[in-house]
Amino acid sequence: MLKNVTLGQYFPGDTVVHRLDPRTKLILVIVYIIALFQAAGWIGYAAVTVVTLLCMALSQIKPSTMFKGVKPMLFIIALTALLNIFYTTGTPVRPGWIVTWEGIARAFQMMLRIVLLITGTFLLTYTTSPIALTDGLERLLNPLKKLHVPVHEMTMMMSMALRFIPTLIAETDKIMSAQKARGADFETGSLISRAKALLPILVPLFVSAFKRADELAVAMESRCYHGGEGRTRMKQMHMAARDYAALVLGALFLAGMIVLKRLGL
């Protein structure tokens, strides 16, 4: 039951988007988010949607895959839309109703905004391996090391966490089976009793996670790990022409969105 977690999943491929340097993609996602929040009117939203669909096509990520990523968020999206419908002042749909035309428009835009936000960030994780992502992050944040920010340690922790997600999921499955074999019931009862039933899973899981962490630390030290100082990387990152081209396109997109906002579209 825990096998279908798609959080941070990577789909290997060999498209332009896959080949972009992770640093470029990280910057572009930030640019994309800023641009998305510039969208003020229908034309602005249409522009972002077109760009998003274009990127999806370029990376050959299927819309159905993307929908799987959005699915867990549907409840929040629906709730946001609902609240926007009822809490926006303007001309009522019918005299006396709380629902306004502006509210409906706003609800649609909010839904679009959240979906686009998820799609854009998922495009990054779908096309970039977690290791490349954390490496890119480390290189990008490198200047912060001068301010004594532990950049290497932070990204190392992130990549370790990503490495252990499948291991811990497998372990959770195993513990759940073991507890079920002893008569534990996770499926029936009230919300509170089901939450309580999770305790016998969490305790062994935490105990073993700490034990793992301990062993891992010893294993890393045995392989001469001594922090980020003097460390080299086997896979060197280099910015190619396509990376610069992508960054220029990103900048143009952001500039265009700001202009649209100024025009109030």
Partner 1 sequence: MEPVIVFENVHYTYPGDELESLCGVDLQIEKSSFVAVLGHNGSGKSTLAKHMNAILVPDEGRVTVCGVDTADEERILDVRRRVGMVFQNPDNQIVANVVEDDVAFAPENLGVEPAQIRRRVDEALKTVGMYELRMHAPHLLSGGQKQRVAIAGVIAMEPEIIVLDEPTAMLDPQGRAEVVSTVTRLCREKGMTVVLITHHMDECIGADRLIIMSNGHVAADGSPEAVFADLSLMEREGLTVPETARLLHDLRAAGMELPDERLDIDGCADEIAAQFLASES
Amino acid making up residue 177: S
Looking up tokens 């970039």 gives 128
Q: Compare residues 188 and 222 and give the one whose CB is closer to partner 1.
A: 222
User: With binding defined as CB under 8 A, does residue 238 bind partner 1?
Assistant: no
Residue 131 in the binding site for partner 1 (CB under 8 A)? yes
| Dist. CA 127–CA 123, nearest whole Å | 6
Question: Least Å distance between CB 220 and partner 1?
Answer: 6
**230 binds partner 1 per the rule CB under 8 A:** yes
- Using the rule CB under 8 A, is 224 a contact of partner 1? yes
Do residues 89 and 36 make contact, with C-beta atoms less than 8 angstroms apart? no
What three-state secondary structure class fits 217? helix
Buried/exposed code over 191-210 (b: 16+ C-beta within 10 A; e: otherwise): eeeeeebeebbeeebeebee
The reply on whether position 221 binds partner 1 by CB under 8 A is yes
- For partner 1, which is the closer residue by CB, 87 or 225? 225
Residue with tokens 């700490």: 210
Q: What is the largest CA-CA distance in the chain?
A: 75
Smallest CA-to-CA distance from 216 within 257, 157, 171, 175 is with 157
Of 30-38, 55-63, 228-236, 252-260, the window that binds partner 1 (rule: CB under 8 A) is 228-236
158 and 134 in contact (C-beta within 8 Å)? yes
Q: How far is the CB of 224 from partner 1 (least distance, A)?
A: 4
- The nearer residue to partner 1, 182 or 226, going by C-beta atoms, is 226
Q: Can residue 162 be called a binding residue for partner 1 (CB under 8 A)?
A: yes
Tell me which residues touch partner 1 (CB under 8 A). Answer: 129-131, 159-160, 162-163, 166-167, 170, 212, 215-216, 218-226, 230-236
